[in-house]
Structures are given as C-alpha cells and as structure tokens.
Amino acid sequence: MTNSLILTDIKINLAGENAVIIYFSEQVSPETCRQIKQAQQLIKNHFSDKIIDLVPSYASILIVYDQLKINHHQLQHQLKTLLANLIADKNSQDKKTLVQLPVYYSIESGPDLIRIASQSNISVNQVIECHSQQEYQVYAIGFAPGFAYLGEVNLQIATPRLTTPRLKVPKGAVGIADKQTAVYPSESPGGWNIIGLCPTDMFNANSAAVTPVQVGDTVKFNAISKQEFLSLGGCLPSKI
Amino acid sequence: MKKINSPQNKSLIKLGFLVKKPGMLSLIQDAGRFGTNNLGLTNGGPVDMPAFYWANRLLGNHLLTNKANSSVIEISLGGLVLIAQYDSQIAVTGAPFPLTINGQVKELWRSYSIKAGDIIAFGFANIGVRCYLAIKGGFDIPLSFGSTSTVCREHLGGLSGNKLQANEIVPYNEIKSDNNQLMLAEKDRPNYSNEAILRTVSSYQQHHFSSAQQDLFYSSKYNVSKHYDRMGYRLNGPTIKAGINGILSEGICHGAIQIPNDGQPIVLLNDRQTIGGYPKIGAVIALDTAKLGQLSRGAKVSFTKISIDEAQQLFHSHNELLSQTELIPCD
C-alpha cells in the first residue's frame, strides 16, 4: 500500500538537453534521503558509463547523461522501470553509514555560541549537548567542494543566518543556519552561526576519500577538548 | 655539460610557453571535469565548445579518444603574450582577437608552425569575449579529478589552480614542424556577433510559471548585464515572476535558466555552483550557450522554445556536420 504511495510521489522532469531530474518528494525527510541514496546506487549500476554526472540533493537527483550513448526517451523509460525496483526494495534494510566528526566547541572556537544560548534561554553547555547528541542526515553537497548540508538541527538551537555574513569563516568552522548545520571545508565568506571547529578535512583532493561524507550518510558530532583538537591537526585562527 | 642534456634532467625542467603577460583571464581548459558534481565540484571546460573543438582538430589532437592531449588556453578579453621555448605547431580559434606572431598579424582558424623564441601576442577583442590557443599534442598539465580545467574558485586545474600568471611556464612537448598547415574554410567558421537567439528546452519548474509569464519570457529581448562570467550570465529585461519563491536546493545542469526573486534571468554556464534553490524556467542548449558565452555587456539575447527531440536532433546533426567538415591545406 505504501509502495504505490511512493510511486505517485516520484516525478521525473526534464532538466536540460541531456539532463533529467527525479523528484522523490516535496519535503525533506530521512526517508526521502534513504530513497535517494538507494536510487543513486541503482542508477549508477544500471546506466554506468552512460551517466556523466549525478547530483543528489535534498529531495532530488539530477542525472546528466551522454547523448551519444542514450537518448531522452530510452533514459526516461529505463528510469521508470528502475525506480519501480526501488519501490520493491523499500523494506530491504540499507546499511547505515555513520560518520563521526570531532568538534572543539568553545567560546574561542565558536563565537556565536553565547548568542544562541541566550536567545534560547539555555546554557552554552546545553547548546553544545543539543548539537552533539543528535544524528544528522547528509542532505546535499554543494556551495563549495565538500560543503555538506546536514539536518535537521533541534529547533531549540536552530538559528537564522547572520544578517551580515562574515568575510572570513575559517576552515573547519561548524555552523548552524536555521535547521541546517555544516562544516566549512575551507576558509570562505559565510553567514552561518559558528559554534565550534572540526579538525577533520571535509575536502582533500589528495586523499582517496575526497570527502568524509556522502549524501545519505549519517553524521554525529563528538565534543573534544582543545588539546585533542590540536593533536588532531586542528588549527586555531587568531580571530573568528 | 652532458648532464644537462640527459633526458632525465630535461623531464625535470618542463619548457613550453613563458608567460610574458598573462592578459585579463587566461585559463588552461580541457573538455571539462565530469563525474565529480556530487563532491560539489563544478565542470569547468571551454565556454565556446565548437571553437575549442576546432583549435584541437586543426592540430590533429584527438578529442574523444584521448582527453589528456586536448588542453588549450582559453583567453578571455585578451592581452596574453607568450614566448615559445620549443618548436611546435599552434592554432587559434574563437572570437576575432588580434593575433600576432613576432609582430606579424596572423589569421585565426588555421595552424602555424612556431620556433623557440617566437612571441605570440593577443590584442583585445572588439567582438566576442574568448579565443582558444591549442598546441600540437596539447599542453602538458597534470590532471586533477580527471581534468586539467582551471576553476579558480575551487583552486583546481591549470598550473596552480589559478589563471595564468606572468613568468609561469605552460609546458608542451617539442615537435619539429613539418610545415603542413591546415585551415578551416571561412564558410565553416562560427559567426561572432552582438546578439544571440538561445534555443531553450522548457524544463525544471516551468510549470510554476504561468503561460502569460512564459509568453513574456520567450517573446522579450534581454540585455547582457555587467555581471557575466564563466559561472553565468545575468540578463536585464522584462521581469519574469515565478509562482513560487524558492525550491529545495537541487542539481543545476549546464545552460539552466534561473529566475531569482528580482525576475531577471541568469543563464548558468561551465563554472556554475552544482546546486541551487532558485526556480528554473528551462535550459539553453549547449550549441547556444557557446554563443552566449561570447557576448559581453549590452549584447542582445532572446529565447526560443524547442522540444527535447529537436534539441537532441540538433546535437547529433551538429556532430555529424563537424565530422563531415574537411580542413583545407594551406601554407
């Protein structure tokens, strides 16, 4: 019964001359996220070298394909069959990939901690606990190489973006924007509320695993001390 | 001394073009970086794909079979001056930039033999924005994520993840020239002008635009604003309103037309961000983004709707046309 529900939820739209986009739902949910992860694998396996790029996001997958190998109609047709398999597979248990990321939460590494605490009428420690207790889904990767959008943050600490973005957010900064949280992979301008620093590289061109997370993975943050942060290779900027 | 000429030492010091003046924006590009959008990496690659194709084909560089030997320099706006350190063969295609070799004016769309010491200089374009300098065998650039394409924002590709800088060396292999030169006949060259009609596939959130808004979009003339670059072209003209304010961020394909809240369309090109949350009304076909990418501020643009079948037919017939077009020997 639920199967047919999902079927009617999935839509395939044209995106471009050699691109289509699959919409799985109109809302963000862990269930949609799991479906996207699964569908991505099915699509990769089935179409293999006919695919040029696959871009999973919150509730969709963009497929860019090689027109020399498959045309729009063939692709649409095969996708429909393929996504029916996804529905049949719905109850198969996916293996969850849990990625643990260490974070040095503190006033010196998280300049917005105090403001978030006072806005929510809780202590700084409670903000840290709230952020690090929960598991987050990786909903999308974009904006910058390795920038992973994670959700959803507990409403108690969900905080809108800064009205004036910082010109420089340091590499590794852990931020909150509304119900989303993320780690800045490299120094960049940014408007997210900074609550700590993560010493793990979120994007490393020279590593076998370029990014530690992929769309559909689960992330948990673990609070670490300044000492641990430094020994893990973390670098404290002079000013945030 | 013998040591200096040994092949081992020679391979350590790579020679090629010494950059005397880097110009406004000169970038190493191959066909582009594909299969890494999921990491947040954009595609890069030449904005004017047909010009890139011809520059390589004039030198017999194989585009499809061997990506590695197709790296060129994309010269935007002009001003690049290079000194050759090795003999080889070059070809320049694209917008009609003034080109000189040792001070002598040279025609584009053909190959030339060059000798060590030759000075190759690009002036500034009156029409068009980009041209392509290819070298026999392609520039010798290491791959990052399978491509040499430079994306400055990502610090990837090229010599150091950046545009060319003065005194850098763009390496290529020495080739003693055979003096057999080829040209593309004038009738087969693309036209560069100050306007473009962009054939567009209706797609993405098009159903969120009323038919009146769609009619307005497809019947209006737009101007290229001052914000145009390899990421995208912002246009000025009649305001288009979407029935929705924003969407969940989603993958953006090449040529996609975003309509932000101010109603002024943005056509997204090679260096676009991989995901975004503005509604999109359609996507321009690649044959026409190549034309758009040669326009500058004030140029006139309009959109015409075509079906997906027409779009794919155009792609195949253009490919066929390219493969059937013969180059002409010249001296």
User: Do B76 and B206 have their domain in common?
Assistant: no
What residue numbers bound the domain in which B257 lies? 195-324
The pLDDT, as a whole number, for residue A30 is 85
Q: Per the domain annotation, does B131 fall within a domain?
A: yes
Q: Per the domain annotation, does A236 fall within a domain?
A: no
pTM over 0.95: no
> Per-residue pLDDT tens for A169-202?
999 999 999 999 999 999 988 899 999 999 999 9
Q: Per the domain annotation, does A237 fall within a domain?
A: no
User: Do B173 and B87 have their domain in common?
Assistant: yes
Q: Measured between CB atoms, does A53 come within 8 Å of chain B? A: yes
User: Do B19 and B163 have their domain in common?
Assistant: yes
Q: Which of A24-28, A85-89, B132-136 has the largest mean confidence?
A: B132-136
User: Do A7 and A113 have their domain in common?
Assistant: no
Q: Measured between CB atoms, does B289 come within 8 Å of chain A? A: no
Q: What is the CATH number of the domain that holds A25?
A: 3.30.1360.40
Least confident of A68-82, A83-97, B177-191: A83-97
User: Do B15 and B110 have their domain in common?
Assistant: yes
The pLDDT, as a whole number, for residue A174 is 98
Q: Per the domain annotation, does B190 fall within a domain?
A: no
Residue A189 tokens read as 């301008």
Q: Measured between CB atoms, does B312 come within 8 Å of chain A? A: yes
User: Do B285 and B313 have their domain in common?
Assistant: yes
User: Do B69 and B143 have their domain in common?
Assistant: yes
User: Do A144 and A205 have their domain in common?
Assistant: yes
Q: Count H helices, E strands: chain B?
A: 6, 22
**Of A56, A91, A126, which one is at a domain's C-terminal end?**
A91
What residue numbers bound the domain in which A83 lies? 2-91
User: Do A86 and A120 have their domain in common?
Assistant: no
For residues A69-87, give the mean pLDDT.
92
**Of A62, A91, A120, which one is at a domain's C-terminal end?**
A91
Buried b (16+ CB within 10 A) or exposed e, A41-63: eebeeebeebbbbbbbbbbbbbb
Whether the CB-CB separation of B253 and A16 falls below 8 Å is answered with yes
User: Do A56 and A165 have their domain in common?
Assistant: no
> Comparing B176 with B152, which gets the higher pLDDT?
B152
Q: Do A64 and B37 touch (CB under 8 A)?
A: yes
CB pairs under 8 A between A and B: 129
Q: Taking the CB of residue B311, how many other CB atoms lie within 10 A of it?
A: 24
The string of DSSP letters for B153-209 reads GGTBSTTTSSS--TT-EEE---------EEE--GGGSPP--SEEEEEEEE-TTGGGS
Q: Per the domain annotation, does A208 fall within a domain?
A: yes
Band of the pLDDT at B3, cuts 50, 70, 90? Answer: very low
Which residues 178-217 of chain A have a CB within 8 Å of chain B?
A: 203, 205, 210-211, 214-215
Does residue A144 have a pLDDT over 90?
Answer: no
* Closest CA in chain B for residue A12: B204
Q: Measured between CB atoms, does A67 come within 8 Å of chain B? A: yes
The pLDDT, as a whole number, for residue A88 is 63
The pLDDT, as a whole number, for residue A156 is 95
Does residue A230 have a pLDDT over 60?
Answer: yes
Q: Taking the CB of residue A118, how many other CB atoms lie within 10 A of it?
A: 12
Which residues 144-163 of chain A have a CB within 8 Å of chain B?
A: 144-147, 149
**Of A29, A62, A91, which one is at a domain's C-terminal end?**
A91
CB-nearest to A53 from B37, B145, B249 is B37
User: Do A115 and A75 have their domain in common?
Assistant: no
Q: Characterise B207 by phi-psi region: left (phi > 0), alpha (psi -120 to 50), beta (else).
A: alpha
* Closest CA in chain B for residue A208: B145
Which residues are CB-neighbours of A29 under 8 A, at least 6 positions away? none
The pLDDT, as a whole number, for residue B98 is 97
CB-nearest to A145 from B39, B309, B315 is B39
User: Do A154 and A87 have their domain in common?
Assistant: no
Q: Per the domain annotation, does A173 fall within a domain?
A: yes
Q: Per the domain annotation, does B170 fall within a domain?
A: yes
User: Do A103 and A200 have their domain in common?
Assistant: yes
Q: Per the domain annotation, does A207 fall within a domain?
A: yes
Q: How much of chain B, in percent, has pLDDT values that exceed 90?
A: 88
User: Do B199 and B265 have their domain in common?
Assistant: yes
The pLDDT, as a whole number, for residue A1 is 35
A213 contacts on B by Cβ (under 8 Å):
none
Q: Per the domain annotation, does A59 fall within a domain?
A: yes
Measured distance CA(A184)–CA(A171) in Å, rounded:
6
Q: Do B40 and A214 touch (CB under 8 A)?
A: no
Q: Per the domain annotation, does A114 fall within a domain?
A: yes
Does residue B75 have a pLDDT over 80?
Answer: yes
For residues A6-23, give the mean pLDDT.
88
For residues B299-313, give the mean pLDDT.
98
Q: Do B252 and A62 touch (CB under 8 A)?
A: yes
A53 contacts on B by Cβ (under 8 Å):
34-38, 43, 251
**Gyration radius from chain A CA atoms:** 20
Q: Distance, in angstroms, between B154 CA and closest chain A CA?
A: 7
* Closest CA in chain A for residue B309: A72
Q: Distance, in angstroms, between A214 CA and closest chain B CA?
A: 8
Band of the pLDDT at A163, cuts 50, 70, 90? Answer: confident
Q: What is the CATH number of the domain that holds B314?
A: 2.40.100.10
Q: What ipTM, to 2 d.p.? A: 0.94
Q: Per the domain annotation, does B188 fall within a domain?
A: no
Does residue A4 have a pLDDT over 60?
Answer: no
Measured distance CA(A12)–CA(A73) in Å, rounded:
12
H or E segment and range at residue B62? none
Q: Per the domain annotation, does B187 fall within a domain?
A: no
A203 contacts on B by Cβ (under 8 Å):
39-40
User: Do B72 and B154 have their domain in common?
Assistant: yes
User: Do A110 and A80 have their domain in common?
Assistant: no
Whether the CB-CB separation of A149 and A142 falls below 8 Å is answered with yes
User: Do B239 and B157 have their domain in common?
Assistant: no
User: Do B160 and B234 have their domain in common?
Assistant: no
Q: Per the domain annotation, does A239 fall within a domain?
A: no
DSSP state of A26: S
**Of B182, B211, B246, which one is at a domain's C-terminal end?**
B182
Does residue B249 have a pLDDT over 50?
Answer: yes
* Closest CA in chain B for residue A215: B38
Q: Distance, in angstroms, between B302 CA and closest chain A CA?
A: 18
> Per-residue pLDDT tens for B166-200?
999 999 999 987 778 999 999 999 999 999 999 99
Measured distance CA(B323)–CA(B310) in Å, rounded:
20
Measured distance CA(B222)–CA(B267) in Å, rounded:
12
User: Do A151 and A225 have their domain in common?
Assistant: yes
User: Do B144 and B202 have their domain in common?
Assistant: no
User: Do A207 and A128 have their domain in common?
Assistant: yes
Band of the pLDDT at A164, cuts 50, 70, 90? Answer: confident
B274 contacts on A by Cβ (under 8 Å):
55, 141-142
H or E segment and range at residue A32? helix A30-47
A64 contacts on B by Cβ (under 8 Å):
37, 253-254
B43 contacts on A by Cβ (under 8 Å):
53
Q: Do A144 and B40 touch (CB under 8 A)?
A: yes
Does residue B7 have a pLDDT over 60?
Answer: no
The pLDDT, as a whole number, for residue A7 is 52
- What's the total number of domains in chain A? 2
User: Do B12 and B134 have their domain in common?
Assistant: yes
B37 contacts on A by Cβ (under 8 Å):
53-55, 62, 64
Band of the pLDDT at A99, cuts 50, 70, 90? Answer: very high
- What's the total number of domains in chain B? 2
User: Do A83 and A140 have their domain in common?
Assistant: no
The pLDDT, as a whole number, for residue A165 is 85
User: Do A176 and A210 have their domain in common?
Assistant: yes
Supply the mean pLDDT for chain B.
93
